[in-house]
Chains A and B, each alone.
Chain A
């Protein structure tokens, strides 16, 4: 379980090089290129699932997120990549990346490591300055049979999937910042296509993770670090608290 404090923002494509430069100086760390493939599952709609468990406690139906690291060698088709790679990514396709063969490989590979996450809705409150969300996580190291068939046995079905590619800055203080783009991955029959959702710009996420939600000292420390970062970047990157409804993983929260 992790308690995640976070602030979000967005920048336009043109601002990317300068943002990377700024954050490199601020974090005193080099940007690290990353790419993740994420599968979102929802409870199988054909199952009759009660709203309460055996102890009569209310348990909402939430989505489950499986994510895995896409090797950069796959992303760049063997080429050595750095943060400049992001500057060329403004289309629905990533030219060097064969998404179809990647997904085929990953579905047939039982040794792929997957993160299994279930997120609670972020804490409520009018005076909140940052998002505070509990995330429950497990690591799937390997599977006997495919991971998909296990998730199916668990009672979940695929809802949607996406790839995010970006750069990550690790601050010495423990703060992590990410600048990334998101592509929805659509599988139709045998064809796989990608659709860039973050057109003409990048998402920015600044976060601080605390292992125990009872560790008030670390939570306070993280809050202060993030709010200081917000002040430092003011008028340049406007870090803000997201609408908690957007971070809600419950199934019928929009009803």
Chain B
């Protein structure tokens, strides 16, 4: 079982990412691919929605998860891949290249949904340590630099307890760098058996620390 956690460091600078690499370098086994993420926030423009209900919907895209779009509102979420599944194509349910769902929202559904915000990070770095896969990126919104984002992924052989310890170790390391203002969201339960559920959970972590 693979576990995920996402950390967001607010009070730092765009160069913190290089300091972090120096600190990590002693643990480093290898460097991985560049990666990017984007979180978009949409707000409903319908006037008379239930006042107790949230008015926002979010989409999350991660390059290391095949850029599949996770769209989340309340407890409901869907995953839309960038490819067509065979049965749908063979049966004529889909004819061509599918579009990311955020495009559908801001294009065809723009009378109900208006994009309000986008937080994204590009050319992030990924590291392999003995315990974790760590992806680090600078998060920017329209108004500028927002902070440093860290995505932690456990080894598939690890149990939840071991993962939680590793998350704590990263937090300690960040405190050692003087970064104590950290928002954390990480897997808390053993999780269900569904393979896709991990992407739903991961997207929810991004949403929790950035949203």
Is there a chain B Cβ closer than 8 Å to A2's Cβ?
Answer: yes
| Inter-chain contacts of A60 with B (CB < 8 A) | 111
B90 touches A32 (CB 8 A): yes
Interface-side segment among B80-88, B141-149, B168-176: B80-88
Is there a chain A Cβ closer than 8 Å to B74's Cβ?
Answer: yes
Least Cβ distance of B132 to chain A in Å?
25
Mask, B73-106, CB within 8 Å of A = 1, is 1111111110111011011111111111100100
A153 touches B88 (CB 8 A): no
Query: B45: which of A54, A57, A68, A137 is its contact (CB, 8 Å)?
Result: A54
Is there a chain B Cβ closer than 8 Å to A198's Cβ?
Answer: no
Answer whether A54 and B46 are a contact pair too, CB < 8 Å, given A36-B93, A150-B78, A176-B92.
Answer: no
Least Cβ distance of B161 to chain A in Å?
25
B79 touches A142 (CB 8 A): yes
Query: A51: which of B84, B111, B114, B194 is its contact (CB, 8 Å)?
Result: B111
B97 touches A2 (CB 8 A): yes
A139 touches B104 (CB 8 A): no
| Inter-chain contacts of A117 with B (CB < 8 A) | 94
Query: B95: which of A111, A116, A209 is its contact (CB, 8 Å)?
Result: A209
Interface size bucket, B side?
Answer: 35 or more
Q: How far is the CA of A140 from the CA of B77 in the complex (A)?
A: 10
B104 touches A118 (CB 8 A): yes
| Inter-chain contacts of A57 with B (CB < 8 A) | 110
Q: Which residues 35-68 of B sit at the A interface, judged by CB distance below 8 A?
A: 44-49, 57, 68
| Inter-chain contacts of A61 with B (CB < 8 A) | 111
A153 touches B45 (CB 8 A): no
B44 touches A139 (CB 8 A): no
Q: Which residue of B lies closest to A54 (CB)?
A: B114
Is there a chain A Cβ closer than 8 Å to B180's Cβ?
Answer: no
B112 touches A49 (CB 8 A): yes
Interface residues of B, Cβ cutoff 8 Å to A: 44-49, 57, 68, 71, 73-81, 83-85, 87-88, 90-101, 104, 107-114, 194, 196-197, 200
Interface residues of A, Cβ cutoff 8 Å to B: 1-2, 4, 32, 34-36, 43, 46-55, 57, 59-62, 67-69, 110-111, 113-118, 135-147, 149-150, 152-155, 168, 176, 178, 207, 209-211
